[in-house]
Amino acid sequence: MINTKRQLAAIDLGSNSFHMVVARVQNGQLHTIDKIKEMVRLAEGLDEHNLLSEEKMEEALACLRRFGQRIKDLPPENVAAVGTNTLRKAHNSWQFLLRAEQALGFPISIVAGQEEARLVYQGVAHTLAQTEDYRLVIDIGGGSTEFIIGKAYQPMLMESLGMGCVSFTRKWFGDGVITEQRLRSAIIDGRRKLEWISDAYLEHGWQETIGSSGTIKAISKVLRDDYGTDGWIDYPHLRKLADLFVTAGRIDHIVLNGLPENRAPVIIGGLCVLMAAFEELHIERMMASDGALREGLLNDMIETSHGHDIRDETVRDFELRYHIDTAQAGRIAFTALQLHDQIGLPKDQPTRKLLHWAARLHEVGLSISHSNYPNHSGYIIEQSDMPGFSREKQNLLGLLMRLQRGKLRMELIEAMPRLPEDFDLILILLRLAIILERGRDWDSQRKLKLKRKGRKLKLKFPEHYLEEHPLTEADLNQERLEVEKLGYKLKIR
């Protein structure tokens, strides 16, 4: 349980900047007490093979050590840290994460594009007055740009496209030269990426457009300081800004009132992305917001502390979408958690929720085919957009889906970069619960007890129960051989 009387911290390992926000909850409201931002430009460390360079990793780790020093006294549940586009792309992101978590002192998750978009929208929505209007929120990051249409706190359409201020600057202005032809080519490139979502967004419609994060806030400030726009962004002023950049001719010649020196090297790429969005989505004007992904993380922590976990909503949505037999899923979840608690595993451990979600979703693959449905289940979970879930959590769930029954494929376990400490036990409990509930009906006579001593498990049934349920006994006898592969001994009596 999050202690909201203490400080909360949200860390965003973006492709351009690393941000940390520290806040306190007072009277149900977040009050920011510290903000730290460093221009790490992680995306610049990706080579042609999408490997992060050692030099850029060291720069990022040094930043995270500084962040970690500021929040070292906070409990782990009061800190949320996420990586975004660059860490999604980097083939060696897991190697970096192991070092990054040690440097920061807290776990770090990599979020999918849609989850990043959801967090951005939540961060923006909680900083604005609530109306009945639909809003288009655009967040230009270093490697990706998120587009969300929503009302109040509810996002309706969410997309994350692979274009950002760092990636577009590198792609179109890598040698520092700015020309009208290059600028136009970059804008067309952005419009092409937007083309496949623009029809749906325009059909839905919105009443106001909000921009978030560094690029848009920087452009808003420049237009206010140099053109007196009161912070509003419109296309004619973006065009004037583009003309100034073309006249400057080089990135290192860009000098504007209100533009920080550390923003200037990548502002041209961000401007092209923004102009592409204005053109393709027919935007008239935009206002910048102070809210962003890190504020979304903070509000998620608050919601979770109040018993509202977006991941539970996602699981319920999957149950409906894939027509899961919720009665059977409920029986397996009940039995799995009963076994979990009997062997003394802590009820507040994250792996307990992982076990619960796996039990609820284990038959999701039946929507494709009964044949080999565990693999279908794993694929659906791993590849779907699941609001609230990090990529690592989805991969763990997917692994549990694939290994839920039959012979254990140890190579799948060994291929995972890292596993929770109790993963083997969680897997055993899920498999046992599925075997025990194969009758797909409540068995009021079965009162079983699972005991654990070290790596020995003893499953005890009422007298004569197994004699009266020979299929269950046969499955459990076979399961003993599979449990041994995980280093455990299972005794049944």
pLDDT in tens, 336-379: 999 999 999 988 888 999 999 999 999 999 999 988 999 999 99
> What are the tokens at 82?
């996420």
Check residue 209 and give its pLDDT.
97
- Select 8-112+295-303's CATH number: 3.40.50.1400, 3.30.420.40, 3.30.465.10, 3.40.50.150: 3.30.420.40
Domain 309-444 in the same topology as domain 8-112+295-303: no
Q: Which residue has the tokens 């990022």?
A: 60
Instruction: Report the pLDDT value the prediction gives residue 441, as an integer from 0 to 100.
Output: 82
- How is residue 132 annotated by DSSP? S
pLDDT surpassing 90 at residue 18: yes
Per-residue model confidence (pLDDT) at position 71:
96
Closest CA to 377 of 386, 364, 368: 364
pLDDT of residue 111: 94
Residue 12 near residue 292 (C-beta atoms within 8 A): yes
Residue 386 has pLDDT above 60, yes or no: yes
Coil, helix or strand for 425?
Answer: helix
Q: In the chain, where are the structural domains located?
A: 8-112+295-303, 128-289, 309-444
Plot region of 143 (φ>0 → left; ψ -120 to 50 → alpha; else → beta): alpha
CATH topology assigned to domain 128-289: Nucleotidyltransferase; domain 5 (3.30.420)
Distance from C-alpha of 446 to C-alpha of 433, rounded to nearest angstrom = 13
pLDDT at 230: 86
Q: Is residue 2 pLDDT above 60, yes or no? A: no
pLDDT > 90 fraction of the chain, expressed in percent and rounded: 82
β-bridge pairing 208-212 and 489-492? unpaired
CB proximity list for 200: less than 8 A, separation 6 or greater: 157
pLDDT of residue 444 exceeding 70, the answer is no
Which tens digit of pLDDT belongs to each residue from 77-109?
A: 999 999 999 999 999 999 999 999 999 999 999
Choose among 133, 148, 168, 114: nearest CA to 281.
148
Q: Which residues on neighbouring strands pair with residue 136, listed in sequence order?
A: 149, 209
Indicate the Cα dihedral angle 287, 310, 305, 18, nearest 10°.
-50
Decide if pLDDT at 6 tops 80.
no
pLDDT band at 485 (very low <50, low <70, confident <90, very high): very high
Mean pLDDT, rounded, for 280-284: 97
| pLDDT (0 to 100) of residue 325 | 95
pLDDT computed for residue 446 by the predictor: 78
Average pLDDT over residues 293-300: 93
Written as six digits, the tokens of 227 are 């053109």
pLDDT tier at 202 (50, 70, 90 boundaries)? very high
Among 204-208, 362-366, 436-440, the range scoring the smallest mean pLDDT is: 436-440
Are the CB atoms for 294 and 37 separated by under 8 Å? no
* pLDDT recorded at residue 442: 77
pLDDT of residue 29: 78
Helix (H) or strand (E) holding 484: helix 470-485
Task: Name residue 295's amino acid.
Answer: E
- Check the CA dihedral 358-359-365-367 and report its sign: negative
What is this structure's pTM?
Answer: 0.87
Q: What pLDDT shows up at residue 193?
A: 97
Cross-strand bridge partners of residue 286: 233
For residue 47, the model assigns a pLDDT of 93
pLDDT at 421 over 90: no
| 190 vs 162: CA distance, rounded Å | 9
Q: Which of 89-93, 164-168, 254-258, 450-454 has the lowest mean pLDDT?
A: 254-258
CA distance 151 to 407: 48
What pLDDT is stored for residue 458 in this prediction? Answer: 95
Spatial CA neighbour of 144 closest among 125, 159, 122, 157: 159
309-444: in CATH 2.40.50.140? no
Angle at 43 between CA 110 and CA 53, to 5 degrees: 95
| Averaged pLDDT score across all residues of the chain | 93
> What is the arithmetic mean of pLDDT over 450-474?
92
Give 262 or 359, the one with higher predicted confidence: 359
Mean pLDDT confidence for 121-150: 94
CA nearest neighbour of 254 among 163, 176, 346, 143: 176
- 341 closest CA partner among 236, 448, 442: 448
Average pLDDT over residues 14-32: 89
CB 409 within 8 A of CB 416: no
First to last CA, the chain: 38
pLDDT value at 432 more than 90: yes
| 120: helix, strand or coil | helix
